[in-house]
Chains A and B, each alone.
Chain A
């Protein structure tokens, strides 16, 4: 389990290259979204490895916040300001 978590750490570190040098804003947001999902998966794997299943609640809240985050970012970059 810890091996798969380390693999996901390496993968998200490689994906951060697209966040840094992405030619457009949308590239950066999509790459950050992928990094966030990988971090959520990493937390689920660590919950299994340490047998500390409270991490799964953290994963659920993290997924909700990631969704709200990406939606707010996309609405902001679509119209230039936030219309609710």
Chain B
């Protein structure tokens, strides 16, 4: 299960703000699918510190997809890996 968050038309640091707000309410088995126009390099260390895991990929149009889940949530991890495979395929 994944929740989509489109931050591609927000000015910095709104994308970071929105992501940090959203990850707090992730349900068990759920991952957050962030759609962004650039790699959110500053987000990653914050996610690492707060106990989240993430994967990112750039699609053919140059847009960046970041999948985020809680580190102890294996179902969400599987969902994130499926989602990232689809992003790189399309």
A and B co-occur in one complex: no
